[in-house]
Amino acid sequence: MARVQPTEERPLDGRTIVVTRAAAQAQRFTQLLEAAGARVLEAPAIVIAPPPSWEPLDAALAALDTYTWVIFTSVNGVAMVDRRLAARALAWPAFAGRRVAAIGPATADALAEHGVRADLVPDEYRAEGLIEGLRGVVTPADRVLLPRAAQTRDVLVTELRRLGAQVNEVPAYATRRGEAGTARLRDALAAGTIDAVTFTSSSTARNFAELFTEDERRAWLSRVTVASIGPITAATAAEYGMTTDVMPAEYTIPALAKALADYFARVPRGGNPRAKRGGRGEPSEGAPTYRRGRGEPSEGAPPHRRGRGEPPEGAPTQRRV
């Protein structure tokens, strides 16, 4: 797992970094950035909330014995299933006899806390990686339960059905735009005190961008570094004119923190890394924006090796958690 290594001169000293993760999930990222010297401004762009109705998930949990596979695409999905099991006077042993897939190691760890071992954790921590791992394993005789965020990318459902499986996709939670701290964020961007904005899922990039007009984004883009956890997130940011400057090879929170530290370690104090590139800029060397690496979460979503921490957001368009 990538870690920010302590040094005498911390590479993010004097830098202000915006963290847009959901408030309940920002602590780890914030701690890593602060360990490297950053001042962190938390401005949650998403809020994790219950789904419009618990009925589909409750019905699926009551019929667990009819499924051969259960696929978890985020830590949030695990947490919400745990919540509903307790509400229904059920328990995780009900998953005995089901094969379980987790989109990444953080999700697998969350399952392990409840005594459930993931039978499959792909090398590529996103929906495409899960499909590759399930190809040749899932058959037309299988019935698959997919509890995840409402309004998510449909690639997983589509590809599982192409494999012949019967898929029951149920909303386990929903995400909505977070606006807490927006005034403080807007003031900081206008004052030019922000050095970088970080996106850990497509939903954080989209919701952040939609807080501002196109003119407002254009005004601060020339002096703010954009860091995205992976190519799906970077592509969403690009839709709003936000070109990614920093993207780690391993699409995890620790790797993103380290990539930011490495990036700013190459920039002179007081320097503007975007100034030399004329505004929106090109990705920095070693940080390609749309490289297909080894995977980013399918949900809010997100490596070459199995670290611990895919982001747990449940971003509606990706996710490594």
Place of tokens 């975007």: 274
Give the CATH number of the domain where residue 34 resides: 3.40.50.10090
Residue 163 shares a structural domain with residue 232: no
Q: What is the pLDDT of residues 236-271, one digit of tens each?
A: 999 999 999 999 988 888 999 999 999 999 987 666
What is the chain's mean pLDDT, rounded?
83
* Domain termination residue (choose one: 173, 206, 225): 173
Q: Determine, yes or no, domain membership for 298.
A: no
Q: Are residues 226 and 268 in the same domain?
A: yes
Same domain, yes or no: 60 and 165: yes
Examine residue 311 and state whether it is found in any structural domain, yes or no: no
Q: Domain count for the chain, please give it.
A: 2
Q: Looking at the structure, do residues 74 and 164 belong to the same domain, yes or no?
A: yes
Q: Which of 306, 269, 265 is nearest to 287 (CA)?
A: 265
Classify residue 74: in a domain, yes or no.
yes
pTM as predicted: 0.75
- What's the pLDDT score for residue 319? 36
Compute and round to an integer the Cα radius of gyration of the chain.
20
pLDDT exceeds 60 at position 313:
no
The region of weakest confidence among 5-14, 85-94, 214-223, 239-248 is: 5-14
Q: What is the DSSP string of 85-146?
A: HHHTT--GGGGTTSEEEESSHHHHHHHHTTT---SB--SS-SHHHHHHHHTTT--TT-EEEE
Do both 145 and 229 map to the same domain? no
182 and 268 in a common domain: yes
- Clarify whether residues 209 and 60 are in a common domain: no
Q: Which of 149, 173, 197 is the last residue of a domain?
A: 173
Q: Number of C-alpha atoms within 13 angstroms, CB side, residue 123?
A: 6
Does the residue 312 lie in any domain?
no
My answer on whether 23 and 95 are in the same domain is no
Which domain does 243 fall in, by range? 16-48+178-277
Whether the per-residue pLDDT at 102 is higher than 70: the answer is: yes
Q: If you ran DSSP here, which 8-state letter would residue 54 be given?
A: S
Nearest-5° Cα angle at 157, 308 to 70: 55
Backbone angles phi, psi at 144, to 5 degrees: -115, 130
